[in-house]
Structure 1
Amino acid sequence: MPSSLSRAIDSYPNRFDPGALGALPEHLQETIRRRNEVLGPGYTLIYREPVEFVSGHGAHLVDREGNDYLDAYNNVPCVGHAHPRVVEAVSRQMAAVNTNTRYVQEALVGYAERLLATFPGGLSKVSLACSGSEANDLAMRVARFHTGGEGIIVTRWAYHGLTREVASFSPSLGPGSPLGPNVRLIDPPDPRLVAPGSTLAEHMRLQVRGAIDDLERHGYRLAALVADCAYSSDGIFTDPVGYMQAVVEEVHAAGGLYIADEVQSGFARLGDSMWGFSRHDVLPDIVTMGKPMGNGLPISGVVFRPEVAEEFGRSVRYFNTFAGSSVPVVAAAAVLDVFDEENVQQRVVENGTALRAGLEELTQASPYVAEVRGSGLYIGVEVVKDPETLAPDRARAEDIINDLRDRRVLISGTAKGAHVLKIRPPLAFSSADVARFLEAFAEVAKVRL
């Protein structure tokens, strides 16, 4: 295996070691062997002992033996696994028709109107795709067309998708997936990186200004800055808010666009607003969304300021057979119904606050936890070897992740060092789920922290 590819695979957090296959239960061994024989390259399993699920409900998954696992990891089933409202809508539509956007669909128009009503007034056009990768690919095509530029700015360990275009500005894919020569990296908004006497806003402004200058030096005009307001792959940095205003000013001054990648931070994930960018009181030029919008069905979206996309729409044909087809659209509409009926955003605020407070209490005396950070139901616990140097402790983080898995609680890891515990449950997470999570975490912390 080429060394760069080996490093790329090693960078994947909490990866199952194929050499440990013989230690697994016989049924899992056989299924994994068959999987390895037929699936293409690049697939990975997670946890030291992979797990197979056969059903789910709310924030819970059930394995073949009927064991209940608390899911504090999966963001795609936004309103919960197998939510009855979504299941009913999809089943009803599948029994009727599933067609595309070349035909008139009242349900599609109604959904688009409802979705756009959740955005600030300047964002009033939406195009649909099938995945976050496709959404970011389309967003970048529009940004390049509108600005005439090619330069792209992202954070140092960002992930924005898997198409060839989007992979070129997704550094978290590792050295086996090279970045484009037109891509420049900036720091995530980590207050600890700010020089004494400065501010986070000024630090981020200087980072962006430096990236723009370097792009121009190499002959690239800026097309866009792409930012996920949760900074999910960088290690989860949601606060403090406000610095994005300075960032967007620099981007616009250089003629570029601000693309808000809301695949992770959108749909009230961060609690105090429907969209992550809204917490910063800024207006993006383009917003992208992914599969959480359809509770896991293949639907994603790109929302534009109309003046940004108008000329592109006149000049370039965009049609995607499955994007905006009937079944994913009714699933997405059902998700909005659940938000209204269950007051999802308030639940996220209340249970996210309780979860973070409990984690802070359990880790406050630990020399191995640098920070508990996050917002709503997206929380990171940074595990380090030393609180002074902040050296990442990937081994300890993976021990914690797998100890929790053994107690049937699912999380994962993030950041370049794979040392930040990523706690990102479905938004169906309840107060009882918070209590169960904290009980399991307390048991693990006694040993590992």
Structure 2
Amino acid sequence: MDPVKSLARGENCPAPSGPLTVTLANSTSVDVSALLLGRDGRVRSDADLVFYNQPAGAGVEYQRTSSGHLVRVDPSAIPPDIETVAIAASLDGSGPATFAAAGPTSVTVSDASGTALVGFAADALGDESALVCLEFYRRAEQWKIRAVGQGYADGLAGLATAFGISIEEDEQPPPEASTTTPSQNTELPVNSPVQQGVLAMRSELFAPVHAEVPGSGIQKQGSKMCRVGLSGELMARAGSMVAYQGNLKFEAQGSGGLGRALKQALSGEGVPLMKVSGQGDLFLANAAQDVHLIDLDGTDGLTINGANVLAFESSLSYDVKRVQGAAAGGNAGFFNCVFTGRGRIAITTDGVPVVLNVDQPTFADPQAAVAWSSSLQTRVKKNDSFGLGTLIGRSTGERFTLEFAGQGFVVVQPSEQPPGGLIGGAGSGEQAGVGGALGGLLGR
């Protein structure tokens, strides 16, 4: 028989296949509950709280036995929009007031045969009266188990409120008029730990906003990072990995089809792309720029300034194309990535962008134009040709604008800083304006 795998706080492991039973026990009397959480980390409705007064939910059942509290989880019966099942314990008020006094809660996960496979001792250090002990969560097509140990100071009510459940309170008669002057500090602040629940180790870093987002594929992790729940392969900007978990392999790309296309346009430069394959969680970012996700449905392509590509799914096809009207002289022309097919791509912008609907002639600074519908007609215009000279953008290397016509959209970032890199121009005047205009394919 395999020994029980004992998890430390924060550690995770794959969940055994089939229906599972979680057994919780404590030396004092506790209430046990399970919360079914969506991708936003909150319940869909009050029906997603499973406890003694509502012992059954979608794929989850609660039972109290002489040996302890049992929570049965059938992953195959959990709705697809549920990403996490959190298992919690709370003190019922008949014994110690905190888990620090009550001692650890023993948590054991058993398979369908009753064999115990995973264990965790959830404890607390301070005034917590509720604990999220364990959670089951989806990663790609697999369920995993994480030992949590997150504490809340206001019991089951505070824990439920933190996950989006409204706690109705009995109406109280209006208070009698008081002849004394009320204190100016009698109300608790909205974000008081007493109201919202606190972690055993207190820091704003442990707030839900900083936790990794669930889900498979490319997801936004805050505003400046993306998280990829990977089970297969993905293309990403080389050097954009800031963290990863699991079994992932990184391979530099420079000799494939895209590399060959660039070598025809340049003199042997490599392509700063990497292929990431395997199973795990990958976190990507680029110079703390804002991250945006775009889903292509196959009906139109997306043309992207190469400096703004962060990652894209391998189901997408891509090519390198020159903007119509770009000079072939200088050290490079106007090259862009053109993506087609169905899939998701993550792009970055230097600041919060504006999305222009092209229903009339539209012009953008080449270094500020991030992405646009591939169905649009584009060409390069010299600003001098319509009398603007150096009034648009900066006075060096800004003698060109991109013109867009047709029906579609253009994403423009609030920055004209030359991204530099692979196809960045090194010349001056007109040469720098063309050679460095788009900064090159994936060259930031």
TM-score range, shorter chain: under 0.3
Instruction: Answer with 1 or 2: which has the greater Rg.
Output: 2
* Structure with larger RCO (C-alpha < 8 A, sep 6+): 1
TM-score by length of 2: 0.22
TM-score by length of 1: 0.22
Higher helix share: 1
